[in-house]
Structure 1
Amino acid sequence: MNKSFPSIVILTLSLFFIACSEDNKPPIVIEQPLAEVTQLDVSYGENPQQTYDLYLPGGRSSEKTKVIILIHGGGWIQGDKSSMEVYVPLLKEKHPNHAIVNLNYVLAQVPTVPAFPNQFLDLGRAINKLTRESESLQIAPEFGLIGVSAGAHIALQYDYVYDTEDQVKMVCDIVGPTDFTDPFYTENANFQFLLNALVDETAYPENSNIAQLISPALQVTESSSPTLLFYGNEDPLVPLTNGETLQENLSSNGITHSFIVYTGGHGNWDEASNLDLQLQLTSFINDHLPVAE
């Protein structure tokens, strides 16, 4: 008998099983990068005004794709996210790997629907929804806030008071009111009426100094986020002293910040100033809300 026969059989069987094993291997799947997606009027609450537009970049992931939230102005009683749409293509161009959210919130209706703290809480509701859905959306739940006028006030107050989980990493304040104890406001004959109309006093401790509690410049702590400030030196609606007070308190608490003053009023600045704002904002986002390569 040929002694090599068992060896040939073993070799043949081995090759057979190897071939079968290779045939049973699952096919190699090459994952394609996620495509860019836009979702308009996403609901984050029961009120029809509680919506946002969401712009998700292509190639996003839950490890790197951080979120920029835009917050419109309008004196807390009017305005719409449509006024912030001009920022969307600018941010897409300069920060193509960030997700962008353009937020609406419930507007105050005097005297039945107060602004505060409701509008701060609306921002929190939107952030909570985005956080809950971060895996399915493939975004990282880290946020930068860009607010204009009343929207800047909401953004600052949310970060300084309500962001207990430190999800907000930076705030951009464009002509935002920051200190309602400023004589510019308190010496206005209608100030107390407006304060009473805009604030739900039952949401705050009894006998509180409401004007102080809703003034973000007076709520700065060592845990506040890096803040970028833009103000006009001739603003008839928000005094430059509001920006100066915020700057002083950021400095005294050791918070990274930049304070830029342009010639002009409530955001109606010349082209050179607006281009500088874009450059300053781009740099600030790169420094404080970077996307890992």
Structure 2
Amino acid sequence: MNYFNMKAIKTTLLIVFISLGIYSCTDDNSGPSDPQDQMPLEFRQELNVSYGTDSDQVFDIYLPANRTLATKVMILVHGGGWTSGDKSDMDPFKDIMLQDLPDIAIVNINYRLADENNQPYPMQIDDITSVVNLLKANQNDYVISDDFAFLGTSAGAHLSMLWSYAFDTDNNVKMVASVVGPTNFTDPAYLENDDPILQELIDTFGIDTSIEYLEEISPYHQVTAASPPTILFYGGQDPLIPTSQGLDMETQLANLGVTHQFTLYPNAGHGWIGLELIDTWTKLKAFTETHLED
């Protein structure tokens, strides 16, 4: 189940974009050129690129025209409670970025979904590592840099933060964005909950409920002072992600001195539409332009 209302994002923002008249034509003959042949590169996309042997280990890549080896890369990670969802759920973000952030390469990933025989951790973290390694190995072919950003929703936001904080050994991640992502599985709101839906989400990670293990899978406990700039969005009425998940993460980032932004929509749930969604995109776009495009 994809808990974040991606269809609402696409519909609302498409209406806003049309009303603002932001669609524009670009000159294919201008801009940076291919370092190999000095000819401007055209827009290029490849769908369902395989990065492993499982059918879920695929991604879509969208490479901007006039790109160079300095072109930054945004990796999109879908939600779905670690057990469901698909990269197509992130198409609204992909479509908006293609229009509004046209100089960034976009990689929209699938990953292996958890089930009773396969826990999400470390399986899904390993998949993100495989994606990053493949992008690095094909950097010259794609004509991209090794500067990455992550944007995840719900479970995908958790994976994005966790990988960026604990597994980015080469410091390639320049920013990470979390939309309603779980951050801390040692939060009393989870550990002491009596909500079967919340408990089902936690049980996805298996029977090991030791504090040590829960800290290992929690971005809140893995973030350091050297972690990349982070932007957070949460809903005050979210039935799946307690408000403390966002508030405590914001406090942790502030205490560590990590560059960050935090937005809590008091009346929103596990997703939102309308003016709140427009606000989310406005902030996310500005944050990306500051920390990824520079």
| Bucket of the pairwise TM-score, normalised by the shorter protein | 0.7 to 0.9
**Aligned partner letter, 2:74:** I
Aligned 1:152-191 pairs, distance under 5 A: 152-188=157-193
Deviation at 1:193, TM superposition (A): 7.6
Q: Does the CA contact (< 8 Å) of 1:69 and 1:143 recur in 2? A: yes
Q: Does the CA contact (< 8 Å) of 1:236 and 1:265 recur in 2? A: no
Q: Structure 1 residues 89 and 172 mapped into 2: Cα distance closer, same or farther (>3 Å)?
A: same
Runs of 4 or more, structure 1, over 4 Å off, are: 189-197
* Larger-Rg structure: 1
Deviation at 1:199, TM superposition (A): 4.3
1:84-119 CA deviation, whole Å, 9 max, x = no partner? 001112111221111001010000011x11100111
Deviation at 1:264, TM superposition (A): 3.2
Q: What SS does structure 2 have at the residue aligned with 1:225? A: coil
Q: What SS does structure 2 have at the residue aligned with 1:117? A: helix
1:52 matched to 2:59: yes
Q: 1:118 aligns with which of 95, 116, 123?
A: 123
Q: Distance in 1 between matches of 2:136 and 2:79?
A: 24
Q: Does the CA contact (< 8 Å) of 2:68 and 2:143 recur in 1? A: yes
- For residue 102 of structure 2, what is the aligned residue in structure 1? 96
Of the structure 1 ranges 264-273 and 143-152, higher mean CA displacement relative to structure 2 is found in 264-273
**Aligned partner letter, 2:136:** T
Q: What SS does structure 2 have at the residue aligned with 1:209? A: helix
The RMSD of aligned alpha carbons is 2.1
Q: Structure 1 residues 200 and 278 mapped into 2: Cα distance closer, same or farther (>3 Å)?
A: same
**Aligned partner letter, 1:162:** F
Q: Distance in 2 between matches of 1:74 and 1:265?
A: 18
Q: Does the CA contact (< 8 Å) of 1:43 and 1:51 recur in 2? A: yes
Size of the alignment, in residue pairs? 257
Q: Distance in 2 between matches of 1:225 and 1:108?
A: 27
**Aligned partner letter, 2:231:** L
Unaligned stretches of 5+ residues in structure 1: 1-28, 202-206
**Aligned partner letter, 1:279:** T
Deviation at 1:188, TM superposition (A): 3.1
**Aligned partner letter, 1:216:** P
- For residue 78 of structure 1, what is the aligned residue in structure 2? 84
Q: Distance in 2 between matches of 1:232 and 1:30?
A: 49
Q: Distance in 1 between matches of 2:37 and 2:49?
A: 31
Higher relative contact order (CA 8 A, sep 6+): 2
Q: Does the CA contact (< 8 Å) of 2:186 and 2:211 recur in 1? A: no
- For residue 236 of structure 1, what is the aligned residue in structure 2? 239
Unaligned stretches of 5+ residues in structure 2: 1-35
> Could you tell me the percent identity over the aligned residues?
39
- What's the TM-score, normalizing by structure 2? 0.82
**Aligned partner letter, 1:148:** T
Q: Distance in 1 between matches of 2:64 and 2:283?
A: 22
Q: What SS does structure 1 have at the residue aligned with 2:262? A: strand
1:106 matched to 2:112: yes
Q: Does the CA contact (< 8 Å) of 1:74 and 1:149 recur in 2? A: yes
